[in-house]
Structure 1
Amino acid sequence: MKTRLTIAGTVLFALFAATVVAGSPAYAATGFYVSGGRLHDANGSEFVMRGVNHAHTWYTSQTSSFANIKALGANTVRVVLSTGDRWTRNDTADVANVVSLCKQNRLICVLEAHDTTGYGEQSGAVSLARAADYWVSVRSALAGQEKYVIINIGNEPYGNNNYSSWATDTANAVKRLRGAGLTHTIMVDAPNWGQDWSFTMRDNAASVFASDPNKNTVFSIHMYGVFDTAAEISDYLNRFVTARLPILVGEFGHNHSDGNPDEDAIMATTQSLRLGYLGWSWSGNSSDVGYLDMTNGFNPNSLTSWGQRIFNGANGIKATAKQATVYGR
């Protein structure tokens, strides 16, 4: 059950700001880096993600999707991968091919391990530690790609049970990747199926950021039924902005089984705050959430109403996306 998000938090988020050192990255960045609570590309330009999620691990033959997503204006694609624990493993060669497809199509590539989804509540879900092991195992496909690739350690890592260890487990996973020599920007998802109704990520984000030796971690909130009012959306995102902690909406939709998210407010608020958003998802959703498909059968010439909204509507991808400067202006 998804608990309602309330405006009043039990912890004053402003306390976070005292622990966050904003400014230059803590290491010599060769790719994306965080400074002043904002994500910057390798040329030093602020980068705001505008894109979609693509379920690559279940549809590995749909490689034309990368070009089609780019053609509709996106600057980023978040790619679903599997560690092999719940679905067929995306091996090093496949990860390298995905990165190549992103680069060919001038897309920033956010790679996520999906097997962590709902850990502690969903049967078969794996830990962030297991996801970290996966990234280390495919690091040869990631090395040297820091200008183009962001590593999203694990999708929605915790359901609504036993999520109190999120901060410790997330920090340990980040440090595991750093210890293995991965200097990429790292993205971390919230617990509670990504929606953080418990404010666990919100109230511990500063400590997780500080635990990254490179100070190069960004936070991802998923907005579905918990975020059904503009006030809730604005309050959550503005607390991160005030604390100078990097945040984006890593998934959202126009409808959901747990309630009706306010997609107009999500898109308007992220645009006004210069924050990224990545809609769910390009195509191929199961029948129970098929309304979240942006295209019919992966056909870019057959957009659904959700696809039309996110690509061509107010504050949509076509109107607001700017290509990463590493690919030229």
Structure 2
Amino acid sequence: MDRDEPNKSTTENTSYVKLSSQSAVLGADSIDAAHTLRAQRSHDSSEDQLLSAHHLPPLPWKITIAIALRRFWRWFLTPIGFLVTIYGLNVVAWGGMLFLLICNAAPAMCHPSCNDINSPRRIWIEIDSQILNALFCVTGFGLAPWRFRDLYWWVVWRCGRTDEARSVGIRRLAGIHRGWYRLPGSDSLAGSDSLDSNNPAVPIPPSRMPDPPLTGVYAPPTKPWKMSFLIWCNIWNTIFQACLAGCMWGLNRYNRPSWTTGLFIALAFIVAGMAGWTEFSEGRRVKKIEGAPMSEEERRARAQMSEKQRQLEMHEPC
């Protein structure tokens, strides 16, 4: 009996060593797979929490309007907000007056007739047109340096001699328009890859990399033609504005063809509107996927609503 126990113990130890070695060899892949699955589940769980935290029910319209008004007031008190507001009010006011004059809304100004070149109506149409032309020149010419900067990088992107040069061009543009443009491959970047300045999915400079998405989901790459469309719409807006200014300043109301003013105003307005809509729609698409930070006012409003809902539930009869 005593002789058999050492043999039995030795056999059990040998079997345990064999099983342990086999588990270490054969089970390595399974362990790695388990760790990968656990990490994936953890990522999915946190992603679901982020998604559920972001996609909240809309606030009542009264609260939404109040929050928007408070935001606008804070922005209006800034220098840029004040100037933009005054600019917009002037465009609306003078544009509305021009529209009413064209529609013959003031018959008293039609003396001796509405179409007489020296009638008050025609004189004020000229004054309104000159003021609106000057206002449009503020944006058409004031933004020209940035628009031609974008055009330069567009030429590098589309006409570069090497793939590296073309990549630099679009990456520069992606850094400039980080709010709505996403590079190919940017939706699959890891944390360390976002700091690699040589990665074609990273904007130049890397500091212009979009912020991590609040929802945990990256927006898919933007179609490249939309960048070209935006840049050329802005360039044509400046060109049409230059044509309009040339006609308004180079000719007087006696020898200026009437079709020039309407044509160039319409063309400049259309291309500017298409550029603005492209940037707005793409920015909204990115925000829907990646999320937008919640303002302090909205956070307080939701907290108050939650507190009221909790109190109502406490006072409900069982």
Q: Which has the larger radius of gyration?
A: 2
TM-score bin, normalised by smaller chain? under 0.3
Taking CA–CA contacts closer than 8 Å with sequence separation of 6 or more, which of the two structures ends up with the larger relative contact order? 1
Q: Give the TM-score normalised by the residue count of structure 1.
A: 0.23
- Give the structure with the larger strand fraction: 1
Considering fraction of residues, name the structure with more helix: 2
